[in-house]
Structure 1
Amino acid sequence: MLLVHPVTEVVKLIPVLIVSVILGTNTGNHLWGLIALALIVGFALTRWFTTTYRVGPTHVELRTGLIQRKKLSVPRSRIRSVDIEADLLHRVLGLAVLAIGTGQQADSGEKFKLDALAAGAVPELRAVLLAHTAAAPAAAEPATVDLLRKGMPEYTPREIGHWRASWVRYAPLSLTGFAIIAPIVGVAFQYGIGQVLFRSDAVHSIEDGSTVFIAVAIALLVIAIVVIVSLAACTRYLTTYFGLRVLDDDRTLQLRHGLFTTRQITLDLARFRGATVNEPLLLRLAGAAELEAIMTGQSPRQKILPQAPRAAIESTLGELLAPRGTRGFASASGSAADTTVRQQDSVSGPGATLGTAPLVAHGPIARRRRYTRALSPILIVAAAMLIATLAGADFSPWWWLLPVLATPVAAALAADRYRGLGHTVLPATGSGPAWLITRSGSLDRDRDCLEAPGIIGWTVRQSFWQRRAGVATVVAATAAGKKHYLVLDIPIEQAWDLIESATPGRLGTR
């Protein structure tokens, strides 16, 4: 860590080093750059001398800081997830970072991190920190626990999802490439690259050329942007999700992935409340989707599978949503064929039904509201243009192409939004709870599968226009995931039946 800390701090403070070098060059004193580098390295070295941690019988403690000392303490009984991360430098030195999650820091993005751990000791430490989530009684004596375990078969985590290299073709269909390129382009234009480009001779030659030449130049620019954005998205996809494996041992869900920086995320299945199938428009048209877990104390969008074919999403979804008692596991003495049969049985069981269950349409009023919302802005713009024309305003007739071309696009969007709108409630069975399934959206469509026992409250909400139309929005409140899941524009007479069927007796007397 005497090497890792300085390298990490120097990389993070590269802008400070650049400013110091520029300042030293302008003033003729080239030592400014070396002074800044020495200060950064010296500060980084103090982190190794001032950081200590201890894993005790009841708490995990961490002390950090030189000028302002800080002591963090986490009860081991509150630990809900243990993540392992190792960038390229950590891996070369045989080190790893262990991040402890208690659920309370999930919203702020902060985690209790133990750095500078030997990579070989991390798996055992993770098992110790998550021992309280095991099925064996935590308060039992060690001898009693050993006797209980001797009568149980040895199980190994079963793979329920596996990344394929061919999935990288779906990476450009998301907006991650634009998210990577946009800040870089913004910083470049902020530092004057725009003026350099627009004043260049090439730009002036295009402006002096024909309309066809300008159109070709714009088309080439668009193609170049699409290619760059696609390459950026593919690069991020490969470096982040390379080698992804999703393992399930019936009490924890383990995610392992990464090319340069490897990550191992362990999630407590006792906090699992459902799953979300995210289907952005471009991914949906390509027959792909993303899978996210709905868990308490975790990120609202805890990704399980990135952009992947719909068949792979449905397979992993079926495994995740299957009742715990029906999950198949690979016994240490079992054969691979037996494991495959168990997996197929689980995929075709209750979990698969949740992922493919038909949804109830919300009726003609919901359809009308979709079209009204999509077409109203266009009508307002067209009316404003007509009033301006009658008032004597002079503008090109080409402007009328805007509402004319936008109308079919808005109508198609409204139709797709209505097709994506729906819900259903699957009643409880002898082996599993009831489920609320709701879907909405077009450009970014989510199909949420939420366990009914995880719902802690209901809200039936009506806006002014919803009251006039006789529809309502039903909100299912939960401590997991996005905290609230919406059933949009459902007929008001069906709202109470929905609540009663999902959580019988919760509605009370109205």
Structure 2
Amino acid sequence: MLLVYPVNEIMKYIPVLLGSIIVGTTSGNPLWSLIPVVLVAAFGIARWFTTSYRIDADHVQLRSGIVARRTLSVPRPRIRSVDVEADLLHRVLGLAVLAIGTGKQTDKGEEFKLDALDTSQIPALRAELLSHTGQHAPDHVDAAGAPHISRPDALAESGVEIGHWRAAWVRYAPLSLTGLAVVAPIAGLGAQYGVIDVLSESAVVQHLDDDTAAIVTITIAGLTVLTLALVSLAACGQYLATWFGLRVLDNGTTLHLRHGLFTTRQITLDLARFRGATLNEPLLLRAARAAQLEMIMTGENPRQKILPQAPRVAVERTLDELLRSRRGPQSKVSADSATPQPITGSALGTVDLRRHGPAARRRRYTRAAWPVGIVVVAMLAVVLTGGHLAPWAWTFPVVFAVVMALLAEDRYRGLGHRVLPGTTGPTWLITRRGSLDRNRDCLEAPGIIGWTVRQTFWQRRAGLATVVAATAAGKKAYLVVDIPIAAAAALIEEVTPGGLGTR
């Protein structure tokens, strides 16, 4: 710990330390640059002397702070999860970070983390902290009554594997925006420090003129290809670093996730808080027959991902296994028969949804037409005020209109809902919407705590409404968009019988 804390603090203040090194070098006295390093390292060492934790029968307390002392206290009955994380330095030293979760979203500074614990202590400590939930039990108890763990990761590896990562899945990483999220801040930082000015003032750029249009085109195309390559490589790197070695284990009461290449993470999810799942299908992933799986849980991350970009078949299989172990046999009404049949996760992921009718389709096309109309009006205004537009410029609104029409049709095809009634299990509400970022939300009826039916001015003109299912889990509100107003009450009654009450 006396090594981890100083190294972490030095890494945190690298920009300041680099500035001090430059100042010390230019001043002719390099020793001055060592003073900030020593101060930062001393601050990290001081954390060891001022940090302690205590576990008693009722509370877990963490006391920390050098200048301002702070004590975090968590009642043990409120503990819902104990997650373990270890970066490369922690792993080399045989240490890990243990984070305690209470099912409530907290700010970064309010997180309850025990940093740099010996990995040999974590399994027993984890079992002790979760003993009141019945989620874990030690392998056996020795003669002194202390829990004995056969291996350090025994608790984390208990349960049935319902999903695991495969190296071939990395091909789906460039089909998301994660690479752009990695490259964009770097490019922005470079632009802020004058990289664009250097390029614009370079000799190559200064000598470009109207006779070098072909060279300019080739250069722009080359930069585009290079950017796409960098974004793809960044996405693949981030994907491997985050999800390498992912295993999803279900022991009946909790779900365990273990993943990470350099920084390993072990996440525990209490299945008593499970309320459903979301199949996330962005446009590019959908075109490649892939998806992501997210959990809908109370008191957890609204988008708690348990499978990253993966083949749609693998996502459906994991959802199927999760629901089978959690809910047992359930039933649904098939499209051509009223005979109840077992509901599985794959049924929730592939069952046909009810269309919302021609009014919903017209509304998609009408909303898509507005941007095209604005572009056409702007171009006409330029011409009428004496401006000049090249003849080829009028092809732009035509192409734009075709693209928006295709987008409107795809948005309508992605719009739908379905209610799957259960016999031995809960009723499920499935709702889907979106095109560029499409979500198929599968929400169990017992998790719905209220309904809202709302209509905008234009929806009232079209006879449509948006039905909102309120829940304490996930995104809190799940929408059935542009459903015919006559079907809204029937939908609510079908999902939660008696939910409309009486007048």
The alignment's TM-score, normalised by the length of structure 1, stands at: 0.89
Q: State the 1:285 CA deviation.
A: 0.2
- CA drift at 1:394: 2.7
- Measure how far apart 1:11 and its partner are: 0.6
1:203/1:388 Cα in 2 relative to 1: closer, same or farther (>3 Å)? closer
Q: How many Å apart are 1:350 and its aligned residue?
A: 2.7
Amino acid at match of 1:361: R
| Amino acid corresponding to residue 52 of structure 1 in structure 2 | S
Aligned residue in 1 for 2:450: 457
What percentage of aligned pairs have identical amino acids? 65
Which of the residues 413, 416, 427 maps onto 2:421? Answer: 427
Amino acid paired to 1:370: R
Q: 1:490 aligns with which of 480, 483, 490?
A: 483
Amino acid corresponding to residue 505 of structure 1 in structure 2: G
User: Post-superposition shift, 1:382?
Assistant: 0.1
Q: In structure 2, what is the Cα distance between the partners aligned to 1:29 and 1:115?
A: 37
CA contact (8 A) 1:90 1:96 kept: yes
| Letter aligned with residue 403 of structure 2 | V
* CA RMSD, Structure 1 to Structure 2 (Å): 1.9
Give the Å deviation of 1:159. Answer: 0.2
Counterparts of residues 146-165 of structure 1 (less than 5 Å):
156-165=158-167
* Residue correspondence of structure 1 range 127-142 to structure 2 within 5 A: 127-134=127-134
1:316 alignment partner, one of 305, 315, 318: 318
Q: Distance in 2 between matches of 1:499 and 1:230?
A: 44
CA distance in 1 between counterparts of 2:29 and 2:211 reads 49
Which structure 2 residue ranges, 5 or more long, are not aligned?
A: 138-156, 330-341
Deviations 1:133-166 (A, max 9, x none): 22799xxxxxxxxxxxxxxxxx950000010000
1:366 counterpart letter in structure 2: A
Residue aligning to 1:242:
244
1:210 to 1:225, Cα distance in 2 relative to 1, 3 A: same
Match for residue 442 of structure 1 among 435, 445, 469: 435
Q: Unaligned regions of 5+ residues in structure 1, if any?
A: 138-154, 328-347
Deviations 1:479-508 (A, max 9, x none): 110010000000001111111111111111
Question: Quick check: 2:135–2:254 contact (8 Å CA) kept in 1?
Answer: no
Shift of residue 116, structure 1, vs aligned partner: 1.9
The aligned amino acid for 1:55 is I
Kept after mapping to 2: 8 A contact 1:274/1:451: yes
- Distance in 2 (CA, whole Å) between partners of 1:246 and 1:307 is 15
Is the aligned partner of 1:190 residue 2:184?
Answer: no
The structure-2 alpha-carbon separation of the partners of 1:135 and 1:232, relative to structure 1 and needing over 3 Å to count, comes to closer
Greater alpha carbon shift after TM alignment, 100-109 vs 292-301 = 100-109
Does residue 402 (structure 1) correspond to residue 396 (structure 2)? The answer is yes
**Aligned partners of 1:413 and 1:442 also within 8 Å:** yes
Deviations 1:416-464, CA, capped at 9 Å, x for gaps: 000000001111211x101110000000000000111101111001111
What residue number does 1:267 align with?
A: 269
Task: Please give the residue correspondences for 1:6-405 in structure 2 after superposition, counting only pairs within 5 Å.
Answer: 6-105=6-105, 111-134=111-134, 156-207=158-209, 209-322=211-324, 324=326, 326=328, 349-405=343-399
Task: Tell me how far apart the structure 1 counterparts of residues 71 and 491 of structure 2 sit (CA, whole Å).
Answer: 49
User: In 2, distance between residues paired with 1:483 and 1:234?
Assistant: 32
What SS class does the counterpart of residue 395 from structure 2 fall into? helix
Distance 1:490 1:109 in 2: 43
Cα distance change on mapping 1:108 and 1:43 into 2, 3 Å: closer
Distance in 2 between residues matched to 1:415 and 1:316, nearest whole Å: 30
Over 3 Å counting, the alpha-carbon distance change for 1:446 and 1:107 in structure 2 is farther
**Are the aligned partners of 1:354 and 1:449 in contact in 2 as well (CA < 8 Å)?**
yes
Q: Give the Å deviation of 1:410.
A: 0.5
